[in-house]
A and B are shown apart, each in its own frame.
Chain A
Amino acid sequence: GAVVSQHPSWVICKSGTSVKIECRSLDFQATTMFWYRQFPKQSLMLMATSNEGSKATYEQGVEKDKFLINHASLTLSTLTVTSAHPEDSSFYICSATRDRNYGYTFGSGTRLTVV
Chain B
Amino acid sequence: QQQVKQSPQSLIVQKGGISIINCAYENTAFDYFPWYQQFPGKGPALLIAIRPDVSEKKEGRFTISFNKSAKQFSLHIMDSQPGDSATYFCAAPRASKIIFGSGTRLSIRP
A and B associate: no
**What is A's interface to B at a CB cutoff of 8 Å?**
none
**What is B's interface to A at a CB cutoff of 8 Å?**
none
